[in-house]
Amino acid sequence: MPRPKGSKNKVTMIAAASIDYAALIDEKQSAKDSLNAEVTSIAANIDSLKADLKSKKAEIKKLDKELVKLTEKKDEADKKAAEAAAEKEAVDLVKKALANGTTVDDILELLK
């Protein structure tokens, strides 16, 4: 005779206590509804954050443009200041050379 297969310690289901499926369905449905409400509130929050992000990016872009303009103006002012300093230095060099009694040709050579 062949050996029986399977566990002999198998638990058999005795008529389980009556399960209230309607209550379980209501519980799961209320959990689903609350999650849906959270999802819609989060989606609304995301939309407002996207709008805020868009306005902040526009403000950053505007400030970048102003920064570029100010940098250009600063560079131009520095260039003018350097030219003025070079011109003043040349004038001082000419005055010093004239005070020492050098000729005009020698002064022109110094300026080159």
**Single-letter amino acid, residue 22:** A
Does the pTM surpass 0.85? The reply is no
- Element at 96 (helix H, strand E): helix 21-100
CA distance 51 to 10: 62
Give yes or no for residue 14 having a pLDDT over 80: no
pLDDT tens per residue, range 48-93: 999 999 999 999 999 999 999 999 999 999 999 999 999 998 888 8
Neighbours of 102 (CB within 10 A): 14
